[in-house]
Amino acid sequence: MKKNLLIILVLFGFVSCDNKLEINAPYREIPVIYGFININDTVQYLRIQKVFQNSIEVKANEASKISDSLELKNIKVQLIVVRAFTKDTINCYRTNEISKEAGFFANDKNFIYKSDAYNLKQYPDIQSVNLSVIDTLTGNKYTAMCNLIGDQTIESRNITISEDISKKFSFVFYGNRSAYIIDAAVRLSYNEASLNNPTVFERKYYDYYILSSENVENLTNLSTKVTQTISAKTILEDWRRYFASQSTNVIRQYVGIEYVTWGAGAELQDIQEVSKPNISFVQKRTDYSNIKGGALGLFAARTINIQTAINVDNGGIALIKALPKFEQ
């Protein structure tokens, strides 16, 4: 019995001599790329960073504040516009011209990639826009492709905002068949200033969504015209709830009502589909990427269209100006 106990103690000593658990996998630099190409913009912006991995001695929230943990320094970025009989190359350059708000990740720098100016609308023969990212040190190449999305034309409108539950107004737009999903919102635009500095106003807006990532085929059937009816009382109550939850140490000025649509391509529809909840305990897709070469992220096309010719009746404007902290 003593002999058996001695063997057990010796084995236990071998097993327990090193209780250090290595939770980190070997370091591997993985690019993360997000870019949305808009046919209405002459300059495109891409975010290209990398997955960061902290050591066991450094907490994740500490490592995330180090800019070098996020940035890729030696890459060549280009957009390739594929047309019917030729290809145009657009160079993209790293810039720090757009500041980043404070948050979990470092904000002392906000490096993004900005393209040279190029008017996509001037060439109706464009077939696709391709992305090329090359690591100039390792030679690794990351690529993606997307098809452009056409505009959604939005009708101008005269609308009524009212306490009368029976009053309604319409949001009418014409879907473009190149879009796979469309969002649409009624946008309330306003200026806002702090009471501590009441002469400096900032333009802000609040979007009341009437469509959110809807499949175009479900909306349009055989027609491209889409009409959504909105209750004047319902949207007014929504504005009241929203502004009641916002800061009271401000003053607001009504600017106007706009209709806004966002069109998106197949890639954004794909990520919406794979992100849907399911009843399985096992997630179907732990990550999604349409970037080839081992990078993570999304390269897709979208459009943003705004109709400013929305006229509100005088009674409606008075109700809007009666919202919390709005000037009369």
34: helix, coil or strand?
Answer: strand
Question: DSSP states of 267-328 as a string?
Answer: HHHHHHHHTS--SSSS-S-S--B--BTS-EEEEEEEEEEEEEEEEEPHHHHHHHHTSTTB--
The encoded tokens of residue 268 equal 């954004």
pLDDT of residue 278: 62
Contacts 24+ apart (CB under 8 A), 215-219: 215/180, 215/181, 215/269, 216/175, 216/177, 216/179, 216/180, 216/181, 216/182, 219/175, 219/182
Residue type, 150: G
The per-residue pLDDT for 103 is 60
The tens digit of pLDDT for each residue in 226-241 reads: 899 999 999 999 999 9
How many residues are listed for the chain in this entry? 328
- Return d(Cα 321, Cα 113) in angstroms, integer: 41
pLDDT of the residue at 144: 96
* Under 8 Å between Cβ of 227 and 171: yes
- Residue whose tokens read 């027609």: 223
List Cα–Cα distances, 123 to 43, 83, 86, 301, in angstroms.
Answer: 15, 8, 11, 16
pLDDT of residue 166: 95
Which parts of the chain register pLDDT below 50? 2-17, 21, 222, 283
**pLDDT for position 15:** 47
Q: Distance between CA atoms of 255 and 241, rounded to whole angstroms?
A: 19
- 123 contacts 83 by C-beta, under 8 angstroms: yes
Which tokens belong to 35? 């870019």
- Residues facing residue 225 across a β-bridge: 174
